[in-house]
Amino acid sequence: ITQTDGDVTDYEVVEREIDPLRQRYEELIHRPDYLHEILENGACRAREIASRTISDVRIALGLREI
């Protein structure tokens, strides 16, 4: 392991940077209902956007709506 600023190693710098991400992961992994809700909301939004996009494509191609 190489040294960076003073006595701080590269590992310690990386560890310090990813620690907040690890903590957030630990918080979320223990809340499956909340994660499921986030995924459901995202899927709903994605379906709405995809539906509008497909509709726009059909109109642009002169295809009738189904």
Given pLDDT bands bounded at 50, 70 and 90, which one contains residue 8?
A: confident
Helix locations, the chain, DSSP H: 10-29, 32-61
**Does the pLDDT value for residue 4 go beyond 70?**
no
Dist. CA 55–CA 50, nearest whole Å: 8
Name the residue with higher pLDDT: 29 or 65.
29
**Does the pLDDT value for residue 26 go beyond 60?**
yes
| pLDDT the model gives residue 7 | 77
